[in-house]
């Protein structure tokens, strides 16, 4: 089933026509399909049927409260990497016992908030972090539930900026050091080691890296249990990708088969932290054409969305399909264009040499697969209010994050007292 059909020549999100949404909320805007979110979660969880598993959605992909609550209502927990994300997860209705706190740089304040909330586990990534967590836990007369994140030195075969499982990456503990860290933890009364964790990167589209990482961490899990450590959880992280251009991820049943093979006989609860695979394909960024400009050897289509709204093409050279909201005819001729935004940087480009049917000023375009790492990475660069977010269910829609008005944008700043009144020199200069 498609949640983004053309009906009567117009692109819809479920039963909501995008031109009507654009008229209601203005452009650019992100639009998410409730049905696509729910279907992605059910497909992922369904592939793991029969396993003792918790699915903890990675909020870093899209932390809009409406998106998180949509998944939480289906049983999703949360993978968070900051106090802010923890608070978002709790506000969206995720129960604390299904929240995992990951990340290499947790502050003492963040640890305290998470301990007070009663989360499932901290994924600890260094000895100094472990010792800091021990102190915070003892201050509260608590024991912190911990999973040690190990680095299996596996090449995830993904973009270098989102690979996390190689020896040169900042994440996790070298597997050879795990035993020593567990021995140290035995001396820390505020720490209760309950598991191991691994996560080798994002946007993985091949199974061999998962297989290698899962086998290594499962082997270590068995060794530590045999040494007398009472481990009860194995966190296998996330990282499954979605289709961008020619890169297509494995099917979920294939991924689940790798999990079953690697963990056979361990008899332990498994934790998964999917992000992009649950939300990526559930969103569009809708933008309006401002101008079509013909250069010497290029045609530029200038739109009202920009890199402050969607930075992935600039940051990762990411490919996103771009389609007209008005359905083109089957025989429409295409011409390569550069789709660019209005920000004063050459890097403010969504696509170069992309074949598109004829478009004109005022036309709407949809940039696809922007439900993950779109709005959540946006900014107000060039003093541009970030694009609002809309959630659709059937024919209904709701603005789930409004566009900042300029008063709110300017209101974030404060002038120091010595700049509150114009100086005489400034007044003369203005004259």
Active site members? 344
The count of other CB atoms within 10 Å of the CB of residue 80 is 29
Report the alpha-carbon distance of residue 32 to residue 23 in Å, rounded: 17
Q: Which helix (H) or strand (E) holds 332?
A: none
Q: Between the CA of residue 197 and those of 49, 178, 359, 397, what are the distances in Å?
A: 21, 11, 49, 38
Report the alpha-carbon distance of residue 20 to residue 25 in Å, rounded: 9
266: CB partners within 8 A, 6+ apart:
218, 221, 222, 234
**Cβ(308)–Cβ(379) below 8 Å:** yes
Q: Between the CA of residue 409 and those of 108, 174, 384, 402, what are the distances in Å?
A: 31, 44, 9, 12
Question: Which tokens go with 307?
Answer: 């890199």
> Where does residue 155 fall: left (phi above 0), alpha (psi -120 to 50 degrees), or beta otherwise?
beta
Report the alpha-carbon distance of residue 295 to residue 297 in Å, rounded: 6
Nearest residue to 76 via CA among 142, 132, 120: 120
What are the φ/ψ torsions at residue 57 (nearest 5 degrees)?
-60, 130
């Amino acid at each position: 089933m498609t949640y983004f059909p053309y009906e009567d020549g117009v692109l819809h999100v479920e039963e909501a026509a995008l031109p009507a949404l654009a008229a209601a909320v203005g452009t650019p805007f992100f639009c998410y399909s409730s049905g696509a979110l729910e279907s992605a979660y059910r497909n992922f969880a369904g592939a793991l049927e029969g396993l003792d598993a918790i699915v903890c959605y990675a909020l870093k992909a899209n932390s809009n409260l409406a998106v998180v609550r949509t998944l939480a209502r289906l049983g999703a927990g949360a993978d968070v990497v900051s106090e802010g994300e923890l608070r978002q997860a709790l506000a969206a209705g995720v129960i604390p016992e299904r929240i995992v706190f990951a990340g290499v740089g947790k502050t003492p304040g963040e640890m305290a908030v998470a301990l007070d909330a009663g989360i499932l586990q901290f994924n600890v990534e260094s000895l100094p972090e472990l010792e800091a967590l021990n102190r915070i836990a003892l201050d509260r007369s608590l024991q912190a539930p911990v999973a040690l994140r190990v680095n299996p030195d596996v090449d995830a075969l993904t973009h270098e900026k989102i690979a996390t499982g190689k020896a040169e990456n900042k994440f996790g503990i070298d597997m050879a050091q795990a035993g020593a860290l567990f021995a140290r933890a035995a001396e820390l009364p505020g720490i209760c080691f309950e598991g191991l964790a691994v996560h080798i990167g994002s946007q993985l589209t091949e199974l061999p890296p998962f297989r290698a990482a899962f086998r290594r961490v499962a082997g270590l899990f068995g060794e530590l249990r045999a040494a007398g450590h009472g481990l009860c959880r194995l966190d296998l992280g996330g990282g499954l990708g979605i289709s961008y251009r020619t890169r297509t991820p494995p099917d979920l049943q294939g991924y689940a088969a790798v999990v079953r093979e690697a963990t056979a006989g361990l008899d332990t609860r498994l934790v998964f932290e999917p992000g992009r695979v649950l939300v990526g394909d559930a969103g569009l960024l809708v933008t309006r054409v401002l101008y079509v400009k013909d250069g010497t050897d290029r045609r530029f289509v200038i739109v009202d969305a920009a890199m402050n709204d969607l930075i992935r093409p600039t940051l990762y050279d990411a490919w996103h399909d771009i389609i007209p909201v008005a359905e083109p005819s089957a025989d429409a001729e295409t011409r390569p264009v550069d789709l660019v935004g209005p920000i004063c940087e050459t890097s403010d480009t969504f696509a170069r040499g992309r074949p598109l049917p004829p478009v004109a000023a005022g036309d709407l375009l949809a940039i696809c697969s922007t439900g993950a790492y779109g709005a959540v990475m946006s900014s107000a660069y060039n003093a541009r209010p970030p694009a609002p977010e809309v959630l659709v269910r059937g024919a209904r829609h709701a603005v789930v994050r409004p566009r900042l008005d300029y008063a709110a944008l300017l209101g974030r700043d404060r002038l120091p007292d010595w700049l509150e009144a114009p100086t005489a020199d400034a007044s003369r200069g203005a004259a």
